[in-house]
Amino acid sequence: MAIYDIAIIGGGINGSGIARDASGRGLSVLLAEAADLASGTSSASTKLIHGGLRYLESYDFRLVAEALAEREVIWAMAPHIVWPLRFVLPHAAGARPAPLIRLGLLLYDYLGSRRLLPGSRALDLRSDPAGAPLRAGLRRAFEYSDCWVDDARLVVLNAVDAARRGADVRVRCEVVRAGREGGHWTIELYDRVAGRTSTVAARVLVNAAGPWVGEALASRIAGSGRSRARLVKGSHIVVPRLFAHERAYIFQNPDRRVVFAIPYERDFTLVGTTDVDFTGDPRGIAASPDEIAYLCASVSAWLAKPVAPADVVWSYAGVRSLYDDGSSAAQEVTRDFMLELDGAGGEAPVLSVFGGKITTYRRLAEAAMERLAPWLPNAGKAWTRGAVLPGGDFPVDGIEALVASLYREHPELPAGLVHRLARAYGTRAGELLAGSRSLTDLGHRFGADLTEREVAWLVREEWARTAEDILWRRSKLGLRFTPTEQRDLEGWLAAHLGALAARTG
């Protein structure tokens, strides 16, 4: 039976980040994901690498400072899928007082460890283009920096890098049960595709099951303690583009929450989020009609042209598994991560991950390795700060140069496709396109600009197995696919997956 140094339950951002960190320290790693990589909360976020301006109100300065410091670190690690975004915060009577906001933003600037991101400033909405889509009568706004990230691709790139460094990444592989035996963990796995069960062993176990962290503790990991998870659901809607410029808005709601409206996938605007206490199984959850109505009303209160539920072209929901700190309101529960270690008296340890943010996943992985160090004496030093992710080996301001060089090599390809591939795969886009001169060389075209070449790449290099994996996580081409095109892709995968996946090994 194979013995791993570390077995990880869950291929979300935290499990994949820990797998990457641990394999880069020379450890043998198993990452088991029951469904697809990023199929849980990590593809359902607001997709911001941010400090969280609103956490300043709860005096969470350490959390904000640590998260802010990660912005430029993560941007430099993956400049193809991470980029700076300016946020416009309009001010109106009845909202938080302007001097308080100005002070908060100065603190945000000060805590932010910024080298490249510009600081905050005040705007006059009567002359600034950011005022154009807003309702009449608004005069003042503030503007500040955070970063945007393709959350699902960040997860996949961490898993790809972990695998390159030797991790055994298994998708559609569920951890059914884990029990302590002879100083290590014996773990039963169920391969959902092959329908087979197998057993492995590991010195340490990491429970990074996201919203299932409590379920894993309660019914899969033998002898583990009571869970302190508090599940909070958040939903987003996507509507046709609401404004022409490239900045995002952060709107203040009368309930003191904030709602974002963010430029999304060129032709759309992403609006979110909600905070609703949640019970039940988070698999397959969706935005409720009430949440959709709430989000539409929230942005409509600030815009000249209202947004209605009928405008919504797509919506999604995710569940945070926060550490229950006893707060009454869902939006007040700390977003900080909590690592709970259970391994008293020389037992094989299990480390459970609660809460956290996409933004701080790299730091969480480092903290997890520090906590597990006594059981992993052969682990190398921390290394991920400054280590680029696959395709990210180009300067943070180099995306246009990368697009131009790809275009020079493939002048017959549509400019939009070249740009999308550069954004998705960074410097690896050249590898994906190798030997192709025209669109015909890329094989069958399924819909939008998705070709057979890219689908084969996603199966071979990124563990994609279904149309949903490809259209909603490896890309967001689902926004542009018709139902017929989706069926065509599903049919093609059914016919070719076996051969393609076999080549993956």
Stretch that binds ligand FAD, among 11-19, 126-134, 291-299, 472-480 (CB under 6 A): 11-19
Least separation, in Å, of the C-beta of 403 and ligand FAD?
26
Give CA–CA dist 213/405, Å, rounded.
Answer: 45
Q: Give the rounded distance of the alpha carbon of 291 from its chain centre.
A: 21
Q: Which is nearer to ligand FAD, 167 or 429 (CB)?
A: 167
48 near ligand FAD (CB under 6 A):
yes
Give CA–CA dist 289/218, Å, rounded.
Answer: 32
261 near ligand FAD (CB under 6 A):
no
Stretch that binds ligand FAD, among 76-84, 109-117, 202-210, 263-271 (CB under 6 A): 202-210
Q: Which is nearer to ligand FAD, 87 or 457 (CB)?
A: 87
Q: Which is nearer to ligand FAD, 211 or 390 (CB)?
A: 211
With CB under 6 A as the rule, give the number of residues binding ligand FAD: 40
356 near ligand FAD (CB under 6 A):
yes
Tokens 């915060």 — which residue? 89
220 near ligand FAD (CB under 6 A):
yes
Encoded one letter per residue, x for contact with ligand FAD by CB under 6 A and - for no contact, window 373-412 reads: ----------------------------------------
Stretch that binds ligand FAD, among 43-51, 371-379, 447-455, 474-482 (CB under 6 A): 43-51
Give CA–CA dist 371/350, Å, rounded.
Answer: 10
Angle subtended by helix axes 483-504 and 452-462, to nearest 10:
50
- Can you say whether the dihedral through the CA atoms of 400, 404, 406, 412 is positive or negative? positive
| CB-count burial class (<10 Å; 0-12, 13-18, 19+) for 498 | exposed
Give CA–CA dist 383/438, Å, rounded.
Answer: 41
**477 is written with which tokens?**
């081409």
Stretch that binds ligand FAD, among 82-90, 354-362, 407-415, 465-473 (CB under 6 A): 354-362
List C-alpha distances in Å: 71 to 76, 353, 391.
9, 21, 18
Residues 69 and 384: beta-carbon distance below 8 Å: no
Least separation, in Å, of the C-beta of 355 and ligand FAD?
7
Q: How many CB atoms within 10 Å of residue 266? A: 11
174 near ligand FAD (CB under 6 A):
yes
Residues 130 and 143: beta-carbon distance below 8 Å: yes
Encoded one letter per residue, x for contact with ligand FAD by CB under 6 A and - for no contact, window 301-330 reads: -----------------xxx----------
The footprint of ligand FAD (CB under 6 A) covers 9-15, 32-35, 39-42, 44-48, 50, 174-175, 208-212, 216, 220, 234, 273, 318-320, 353, 356-359
